[in-house]
Structure 1
Amino acid sequence: MTVAEGWVADVLETLQLPRRMRLRLTRNGLTVVPVTQAHVTTQMRIFGQIDARLPGWVPIGEFRVRPAREGYMPEPDVSALPQEQLDPGSSEFDEGALPFVVEVVSPESKNRDYSTKPDHYALRGIPVYLIVDVLAARWTLLTRPQDGEYQHQESGVFGDRIEIPVVDQTLTLDSSQFMRI
């Protein structure tokens, strides 16, 4: 870890922001991100569906994916872990343990969610990346990471069912429950 990376990590951990805001480290620096109700509501509804439809798994959010690569640790909005792998005291989880990640699009994150994060998640070998776009009421499911790129893509509109392969199960999300801005 470089001196700059260590400083940024310290800032991220110690800076206090209102609950309605998040501080994100991007390649362009630190960004303060407003959190909309559509974002929070959609995230919570995905949590609820994971809880109800993926037996033996626990939804997780507000975490970082480790290890850092190029000084960057992504912070997806949602994922899940097998109950026995959950460390309640951790705010970082290993990329190899994550069967999927979900990003709920915000006005400031749209470009990164569609263009930068797919590369980060595919390079890490995360099997599935779901983009939930509350701005356009659409979703995009990227699967089969290979050589730093996802090889398969499906898209749909809110109201469609989304099938996410999770180890030996399929998580079916009802996107009609998602909120649009």
Structure 2
Amino acid sequence: MTIMEDRAVELHEQIRLPRSMRLRLTRNGLTLVPITQAHPTTQRRILNQIEERLPGWTPVGEFGVLPPREGYSPEPDASAVPTDKHLPDASKFPEDLLRFVVEVVSPESEERGYSTKSDHYALRGIEAYLVVNVLTGRWTLLTRPQDGTYRHTVTGDFGEKIEIPVDDQTLVLDSSEFVRVVRA
């Protein structure tokens, strides 16, 4: 990381925000993001399903991925690490522990959720990347990373089952439990 990137990370960690806002550090700088209730509710329901349906793995949410690459350390909304490798006080996990990551997109992150973040996760060799779009009521599962790009895509509507390969298991998420933003 450069000196400026280090400084931005330091500043990001020191700023206190209301719970309804989140500050994101991206390649373009710091961005203030409003959080709808659909986002944390869906995130919590995904984490609950991971805990119930993926034996031997511990769900993790809102953490950084190590190491930073190109000055960027993504912060997925949900994933899981092997239970024997889980450290309760950790706020960052090495990419080689992650078999899949989940991002719940917000209005400001919708474009990045499908492009920038997928490139970063594929470059890291994370086997599956699930994008949950609470704005459209649709999900996209990207798998088979190769040369920094996911080679296989499956999409569906909320209400359909999502099958995510995790080592010798398959995590099946019930997307009917996800919450969609209702716009007037």
Q: TM-score range by the shorter chain?
A: over 0.9
- Residue 136 of structure 1 is matched in structure 2 by 136
How many residue pairs align between the two structures?
181
| Cα-to-partner distance string for 1:15-72 (whole Å, 9 max, x where unaligned) | 1111121111111110011111000000000011001101121110110001011110
CA contact under 8 A between 2:23 and 2:31: conserved in structure 1?
Answer: yes
| Cα-to-partner distance string for 1:120-167 (whole Å, 9 max, x where unaligned) | 100010000000000000000000000000000000000000000001
Whole-angstrom distance in 2 between the partners of 1:137 and 1:88: 32
Whole-angstrom distance in 2 between the partners of 1:138 and 1:158: 5
Q: Which runs of 4+ in 1 moved over 4 A?
A: none
1:19-168 paired onto structure 2 within 5 Å = 19-168=19-168
Whole-angstrom distance in 2 between the partners of 1:128 and 1:81: 14
CA RMSD, aligned part only? 0.7
- Residue 16 of structure 1 is matched in structure 2 by 16
CA contact under 8 A between 2:9 and 2:25: conserved in structure 1?
Answer: no
TM-score by length of 2: 0.97
TM-score by length of 1: 0.98
Unaligned runs of 5+ in 1: none
* Paired residue type of 1:161: K
Query: Aligned with 2:108: secondary structure?
Result: coil
- Residue 172 of structure 1 is matched in structure 2 by 172
* Paired residue type of 2:9: A
CA shift at 1:177, angstroms? Answer: 0.3
Whole-angstrom distance in 2 between the partners of 1:84 and 1:8: 33
| Cα-to-partner distance string for 1:88-141 (whole Å, 9 max, x where unaligned) | 111011111101000001000000001111111000100000000000000000
Whole-angstrom distance in 1 between the partners of 2:71 and 2:116: 15
